[in-house]
Structure 1
Amino acid sequence: MANVRDCIYGQAVGDALGVPFEFRGRDTFECTGMVGFGTHGQPAGTWSDDTSMALAICDSYRELGCIDTDDIRTRFLAWYRDGAYTCDGLFDIGNATAQALIAGHGLSGERDNGNGSLMRTVPLALFDVTDDEVRAVSAITHAHPTSTEACVQMVHVAKALVDGMSVGDAVAMGGVDAGKPRGSISSGGYVLHTYEAALWCLANTSSYAECVLTAVNLGDDTDTTAAVAGALAGIVYGFDGIPSSWVDALRGKDVIEACLP
């Protein structure tokens, strides 16, 4: 059965694969492996805010054994202000996330439905959490029902995968049409687009590597799509299913290990 380590490493590797290509248009590049620099000028193997925020949640649960949104918010602020839960400092943060952390509450407008809470959601499937707790974790930054319910549904899908449901059945349960053509899959920053794209990538591939490369090569929000798809693929294929060369190249493994329950 999958564990938190499978999921988090799956997320971190997917995230790091996507970081160099963020904001690049579809089919203007091809990601075939772990490279550096590019969009954010980071060394190869560097993960972004997607993984940092997931690690903050994991670290809170590791220490407290429960979901405590005040504690999680404090850890998010330590990341935002001091570079906690990073390889060597923060280099990327979504506007809504920054605004919410400064304001001290999640944003709830219709236009506040970026993927900034979905990107940290999948590891919650490995913890003993309720739907309302998932909503509350989303609402630290993204409080609109579109975002909170996307996070709840993603956790349901991930839990089904943890429990051994087939990928096809889990994706269908999540309401995603795996048969849609690639051209109709959006990969920008809208939460429902990331939700669909990650599940579509999982459903249309047969290995961890194929899943995350497919996600990155959709373009645009490459790191987040691949982080979410990678977290799901980590559950399905396990840590041993991640190419060892990518794990070897991953930076900040000591930070990751320290946060695992």
Structure 2
Amino acid sequence: MYLTTAQNDRACGVILGSAVGDALGAGYEFGCAPLGPDGPEMIGGGLGGFAPGEWTDDTSMTYAIAEVAAKGADLRSPEALDDISRGFLRWYDSHPPDIGMQTSSVVGDVSRMLPEDLAQQASRREGTEASKPGTPPLPEEVAPRPSRRENTGALAAAMTQAAARLHERTGHTAGNGSLMRTSPVALAHLGDPTAIVEAATAISALTHTDPRAGEACALWSLAINHAVLEGELDLRPGLQHLPAEAQAFWTARIDEAESQDPSTFTPNGYVVTALQAAWSAIHHTPVPHEISCLHLQHTLDTAIRIGNDTDTVAAIAGGLLGARWGASAVPAAWRRIVHGYPGRTAEELVELAFLATRGGEPNGYDWPGCEYIPYWQAHRPVLVQHPFDEGVWLGNVKALDDLPQEITAVVSLCLTGSKQVPAGVLQVPFRLIDEPESESNLNLEHVITDAARTAAELRADGHQVLIHCVAAESRTPTVGIAYAMISGVDVETATKGVCSALPAASPNPGFRRQLDEWERPNE
């Protein structure tokens, strides 16, 4: 479906927001580390000994769904459910450092059912060793041996059946492990509540048989759909798409979450309590008046302070927060270090989200996936030194074609191809649309401030930095002016200096208005 600029930003924030919440909460889960007064940081550690900024099983399983959604698949189809199941198996075969007991039991059962040669093939695709080659298979009468070469749907059916057998044995399959990974579902089926409910329920059932787990995934995915399309945080519109009994149950649970302090909802390994914890954190965290998108950061702080399964509650909350506030609300300091299985980065999650909303099709520039975007607006390289800092350069996209060796970091204010920035040069991208209307940039003040401060942080780290957009006429001078302003230069002096260095500079009226109102960024 067609998305406006704002809707596209919000859609791109869904998986990113979930991953950021996951990576932030990882170091604090189950009391692994105390949370300081300044809020959570990406300290790493946790139960899996994660690196700072590394996501956990929450996002690794989310990735398995997102990469299928990014191909334009109907997530309800047997083919898509098979592909998702394969993704779960590849991740399991990589020996993840932390994995939920219920998920481990179900996916492990299916992994042991597979013929050894097929398990090795799956592992080689991810560059890993074959998983548990010496583990004996389950008896045939208990667990038939599905093959990746069998009929379509056989693998997903085997995984769903393994989950059902676990439910029959224990009666307890309502953990939070399917809710934590559900964020990509809405992106694949935006605007289609029926498809969202069916896909969320089917994907949940791959590992979690209890109906409450499926209902929670459906309800949260519907809330993400509503946030992306309408720009509102509200769980209740999704209730109408659940059966009558489920509507009554979840209405009561939502009322509890909204009437009780977030700290009430712990322990939160149960899917119902995890959803309540995430929603209570969102509901009770005030939206800042001046820079409203800071609600994303503040709410993740609230969610992690609840304690217990901190990475999962923050991942659940982060998916919905990203759907409301957009990818542009996630600070670059977090985006720069967020990473995880299977060797992916924060920006690659954004690309998956973008493709998922477009049925797998790239944009008119063939992005993402292209190596180089030949912007017609840039005819020759533009590259000048910043008038207030010789270690900062201002330029257009053509400047990347022959970048001076002394420039070791790039702040990109436009899309670039995968090989457009020279190898070995650090790139930090920002989503800044060169249009004056306020609805074109959801979080304009935040993005301009964040880009300028990121350049300052890179300089403090010893980099010489290029700030560039397509033509160096509007976005580049705007952030160049903001960079001078955070150093204490007044807006008039900064504007005169930058526009003298860039003779074609002409920030659009919306950008100029923001700089005039801003005068000096909030500290």
TM-score bracket, normalised by the shorter chain, equals: 0.7 to 0.9
What is the CA–CA distance in structure 2 between the aligned matches of 1:75 and 1:40, rounded to whole Å? 20
Give the aligned partner of residue 86 of structure 1. none
Distance verdict in 2 for CA 1:237–1:45, change over 3 Å: same
1:45 to 53, 75, 80: 53
Give the aligned partner of residue 171 of structure 1. 235
1:58 to 66, 70, 78: 66
Q: How does 1:112-151 map to 2 (within 5 A)?
A: 112-128=173-189, 129-151=195-217
CA contact (8 A) 1:187 1:222 kept: no
Amino acid in the other structure paired with 1:215: A
Higher normalized contact order (CA 8 Å, seq sep 6+, divided by chain length):
1
Structure 2 residue 172 is matched with structure 1 residue 92 = no
What is the CA–CA distance in structure 2 between the aligned matches of 1:123 and 1:130, rounded to whole Å? 10
Please give the secondary structure, in 2, of the residue aligned with 1:141.
Answer: coil
1:220 to 308, 314, 318: 308
2:15 to 8, 14, 18: 8
Give the aligned partner of residue 26 of structure 2. 19
- Cα deviation for residue 258 of structure 1 reads 6.4
CA contact (8 A) 2:69 2:185 kept: no
Distance verdict in 2 for CA 1:247–1:223, change over 3 Å: same
Distance verdict in 2 for CA 1:222–1:239, change over 3 Å: same
What is the CA–CA distance in structure 1 between the aligned matches of 2:12 and 2:279, rounded to whole Å? 20
Structure 2 residue 314 is matched with structure 1 residue 195 = no
- Alpha-carbon RMSD across the aligned residues, in angstroms, is 2.2
- Cα deviation for residue 182 of structure 1 reads 3.0
Deviations along 1:142-173, whole A, 9 cap, x unmatched?
A: 12211111111111222121221532xx1344
- Cα deviation for residue 249 of structure 1 reads 2.2
CA contact (8 A) 1:215 1:222 kept: yes
What is the CA–CA distance in structure 2 between the aligned matches of 1:4 and 1:92, rounded to whole Å? 28
Please give the secondary structure, in 1, of the residue aligned with 2:349.
Answer: helix
**What percent identity do the matched residue pairs reach?**
31
What is the CA–CA distance in structure 2 between the aligned matches of 1:122 and 1:256, rounded to whole Å? 12
- Cα deviation for residue 64 of structure 1 reads 4.9
- Cα deviation for residue 259 of structure 1 reads 4.1
5+ residue gaps, structure 2: 1-6, 111-158, 190-194, 240-250, 288-294, 356-523
Higher strand content, 1 or 2 = 2
Scaled by the length of structure 1, what TM-score is found? 0.88
What is the CA–CA distance in structure 2 between the aligned matches of 1:222 and 1:97, rounded to whole Å? 18
Please give the secondary structure, in 2, of the residue aligned with 1:57.
Answer: helix
What is the CA–CA distance in structure 1 between the aligned matches of 2:12 and 2:210, rounded to whole Å? 30
CA contact (8 A) 2:10 2:325 kept: no
Higher helix content, 1 or 2 = 1
Deviations along 1:37-71, whole A, 9 cap, x unmatched?
A: 24432221010111111111010122252211111
5+ residue gaps, structure 1: 84-89
CA contact (8 A) 2:13 2:322 kept: yes
Report the count of equivalent residues.
252
Please give the secondary structure, in 2, of the residue aligned with 1:22.
Answer: helix
Amino acid in the other structure paired with 1:202: I
Scaled by the length of structure 2, what TM-score is found? 0.45
Comparing 218-227 and 133-142, the one that deviates more: 133-142
CA contact (8 A) 2:81 2:203 kept: yes
- Cα deviation for residue 8 of structure 1 reads 0.9
Amino acid in the other structure paired with 1:79: W
Give the aligned partner of residue 80 of structure 1. 92
